[in-house]
Amino acid sequence: MMASTRLAACCSVFARNTGYIRLIACLAIMAFSALTPHLAIAQAAGGMDLCTKANSALTWIKESVFFILVVAVLGSGVMAAFGRMSWATVGQVLIGAIVAGVATEVVTALYGAGGC
């Protein structure tokens, strides 16, 4: 019984001081940014420009989505072949895969490359 009251007292101390902990964390981040301003600028932090980073992130997202779509289409096809899923659901998965695969090209066609 004594251990639970100690734990409750400890937790109440932390619950009361969360405002102070957040304030100290914010002040520490502001002091770090003020002392090292060259690290606060996102464009200077890696030597690459913003378009290069955006294009590499977009490529990574496309590859990840491609892998997920391949697994979804393959898995749903196998499940439908063994009778565990209807073929209508497989058709819906295929339509979703086509839409997700063509989404970036549609946006690029409608709005342009965005300057990159």
pTM of the model: 0.50
Confirm if 101 and 69 have CB atoms less than 8 A apart.
yes
pLDDT of residue 12: 57
Q: Which whole-number Å values give the CA distances from 11 to 2, 7, 8, 15, 114, in the listed order? A: 14, 6, 5, 6, 50
Taking only the tens place, the pLDDT of each residue in 34-74 is 777 666 565 555 556 777 888 888 889 888 888 998 999 99
